[in-house]
Amino acid sequence: MTLRRAYVPAHAPRPRRGIRSTRSLTLIITAAATAMATTLVPVFAGDDDGLTLRPVADTTVSQVPQDGDNAVKTTLASCPSLCDGNPRGRRDATLQFAVDRLPDNAVNVRAKLRVYAWQDFAARVLARTVPGDLSAASSPDKLAAAAFGGPAVDRVTKGFNEFDVSGSVRRNGTYTFALSQESLNTRIYWASRENSKEGLHPELVLSYETRTKPSATTTGAPVTALPPPPTTRPTTPPTTTAPAKSPTTTKTATPAPASKPPVTTAAPNGWRLVWGDEFDSGTLDRTKWNLRGAEGRSIDLGCNVDHPQNTFVGDGKLTLRALKEASYCSSQTRQYTQSYLDTMGKASFTYGRFEIRAKSPNKPETSTGLWPAFWLRPDDGGNGEIDVTELPGGADWYSRSTAAIFWDYSPVKQDTRIAVPGGGYPADGYHTYATEWDAKALKWYIDGKLVWTRDRTTTPWYDKAFNKPYNLRLNFQVGGWLGDPDASTRFPADFVVDYVRVYQR
């Protein structure tokens, strides 16, 4: 199929204009204790892992009546009490964040508040931490009594200034930070979340480690935070000969649990099951999956929500449902809700066979702007991506599965669109999509047939991209670079998953 425009994955960060995206981070290096193993989960600005946060609210707390309502202005201001000759001119730039993505076993949390200034100033500025939301920081007196979140910045530079607030952020919750200026009796202006240039918006960048008991892994195939293999079901099923199951014709937000027939066939030759979800329990297994909530990304039109009507399990299947309904997330109201699951901090793998059996919702006339996908991203938050399958809708896309690999979102990418072997298309029933990954090559399969291969001969950056642990992503996006919903797009739309399995040799 000839593309009308360059393909960009549903989950790629939108390119920023005017400033360069931050692609570096300070890695936390720790020694593993004898009885415990530590997993590093660093995150960088611009990634979509849910740990680079934008403010849910911000304002300038001011003693100057003429400042008026500062909650909807494109700049925040800071200034000492004696400001521009006014003996009661103090201003504090305050920002509220909702932290909700830290796992319960997160340790050594690092938090950086990043705020953009337009000029260099010889000024000392510190970040105070105010427990609660902006209302707890409603007056300069309250701010003056607040604790310091970390070391001060002794000189403000043009561009992003970083404040270490790790001493304040330990777990999920609401955090409000105030930039209090201690020297230079004139105002410093900072970019707010209302600024028209998205790349200038403030950010709270989190990284952390998780502690888990060490698990035995085979040499050459390190596994991070890997749950033990299932013990209640036989070693795993086929790629091509699993018995077909009748698709569920209706779904409700609270489906009754139901079991599938037991699996009796062998795992693919040479592979053993190390992780999987058959969706037999009647509810989403939160020990395996994170479900993102109240998250809005700049690359699509929906809110990722943790709602039972958008993500539910029943009849032995997982349904990710996209709805046309208003929802508030990331400080704005959007007109769609959608589902996004990942295994960050719960399971990650270096090498393996990653397999999903699923049914796309996308028909030729009614699916523009609908975009389900199953893909992998590296634990280190850096470059690299493996797309097992992306199934965008619309007349140009509905009939094929997209397989892709990325080094960066510049983009340095390789991708292809693949028809279902033997005819048909991804929404005509359940199809199996798999990627086999080792140190030498990546191979994609649809319904058991090899359809694409990448290796060092096709991909010069293969070794630097694909030799580290990756976690799983499973999501259903509404809107993006391949089209937004139109009048013909049908809601609700269901991406139905029969199983997700990971094998290793």
Per-residue burial over 141-156, b = 16 or more CB atoms within 10 Å of its CB, e = otherwise: ebbeebeebbebbeeb
Question: Taking residues 224-231, what's their average pLDDT?
Answer: 33
Question: Taking residues 411-429, what's their average pLDDT?
Answer: 93
pLDDT tier for residue 314 given thresholds of 50, 70 and 90 = very high
Q: What distance in Å separates the CA atoms of residue 445 and residue 54, rounded to the nearest whole number?
A: 38
Question: Of 28-32, 239-243, 427-431, where does the model show the most confidence?
Answer: 427-431
Query: Most distant CA pair in the chain: distance in Å?
Result: 81
For tokens 């705020």, name the residue. Answer: 115
Tens-digit pLDDT profile for residues 207-216: 888 765 443 3
Burial class (CB in 10 A: 0-12, 13-18, 19+), 1: exposed
Residue from 203, 209, 278, 390 carrying the catalytic annotation: 390
- Reading the block at residue 151, the tokens are 């070391």
Question: Taking residues 171-184, what's their average pLDDT?
Answer: 90
Task: State the pLDDT at residue 259.
Answer: 40
Residue 188 above 90 pLDDT? yes
Task: State the pLDDT at residue 23.
Answer: 33
Task: State the pLDDT at residue 285.
Answer: 97
Q: How far is CA 454 from the centre of its chain?
A: 25
Task: State the pLDDT at residue 54.
Answer: 87
**Residue 187 and residue 86 in contact, taking contact as beta carbons nearer than 8 Å:** no
- The torsion of the CA quartet 359, 362, 364, 366, rounded to 10 degrees, works out to 140
Tell which wins on pLDDT, 150 or 420. Answer: 420
Residue from 203, 295, 355, 385 carrying the catalytic annotation: 385
Tell which wins on pLDDT, 485 or 84. Answer: 485
Respond yes or no: is residue 278 known to be catalytic: no
Q: What distance in Å separates the CA atoms of residue 321 and residue 289, rounded to the nearest whole number?
A: 16
CA angle 32, 351, 431 (to 5 degrees): 135
**3 state DSSP class of 177:** strand
Respond yes or no: is residue 209 known to be catalytic: no
Question: Taking residues 163-187, what's their average pLDDT?
Answer: 90
Task: State the pLDDT at residue 341.
Answer: 98
Q: What is the pTM of this model?
A: 0.54
**3 state DSSP class of 463:** helix
Percent of the chain with pLDDT over 70: 77
Task: State the pLDDT at residue 212.
Answer: 57
Task: State the pLDDT at residue 51.
Answer: 78
Q: Quickly list DSSP for 39-89.
A: EEE---TT--SS-EE--SEEEEEES-GGG---TT-SEEEEB-SSBTTBTT-
Average pLDDT, the chain: 80
pLDDT tier for residue 246 given thresholds of 50, 70 and 90 = very low
- Reading the block at residue 4, the tokens are 């009308």
Strands 332-342 and 302-304: parallel
pLDDT tier for residue 147 given thresholds of 50, 70 and 90 = low
Tell which wins on pLDDT, 470 or 69. Answer: 470
Q: Return contacts of 226-232, CB within 8 angstroms, 24+ apart.
A: 226/274, 226/275, 226/347, 226/348, 226/349, 227/275, 227/287, 227/288, 227/346, 227/347, 229/272, 229/273, 229/274, 229/275, 230/273, 230/276
Task: State the pLDDT at residue 266.
Answer: 64
Residue 229 above 50 pLDDT? no
Residue 141 above 80 pLDDT? no
Tell which wins on pLDDT, 231 or 272. Answer: 272
Residue 277 above 90 pLDDT? yes
Task: State the pLDDT at residue 157.
Answer: 94
| Residues, the chain | 505
Residue 417 above 90 pLDDT? yes
Question: Quick one: which of 354, 311, 299, 307 has its CA closest to 472?
Answer: 354
Q: What distance in Å separates the CA atoms of residue 222 and residue 433, rounded to the nearest whole number?
A: 24
From residue 211, give the alpha-carbon distance in Å to each of 37, 40, 214, 234, 274: 6, 9, 9, 29, 20
Residue 495 above 90 pLDDT? yes
**3 state DSSP class of 141:** helix
Q: Looking at 47-51, 60-64, 425-429, 466-470, which range is the least confident one? A: 47-51
Residue 225 gets which letter from DSSP? S
H helices of 118-250, in order, are: 140-144
Tens-digit pLDDT profile for residues 373-384: 999 999 998 899
Tell which wins on pLDDT, 32 or 144. Answer: 144
Task: State the pLDDT at residue 472.
Answer: 98
Tell which wins on pLDDT, 26 or 311. Answer: 311
pLDDT tier for residue 334 given thresholds of 50, 70 and 90 = very high
Which domains does the chain possess? 37-211 (2.60.120), 263-504 (2.60.120.200)
Residue 242 above 60 pLDDT? no
Half-sphere exposure of 437 (CA within 13 A, CB side): 28
Q: How far is CA 423 from the centre of its chain?
A: 34
Tell which wins on pLDDT, 228 or 282. Answer: 282
Q: Looking at 5-9, 99-103, 459-463, 478-482, which range is the least confident one? A: 5-9
Task: State the pLDDT at residue 85.
Answer: 86
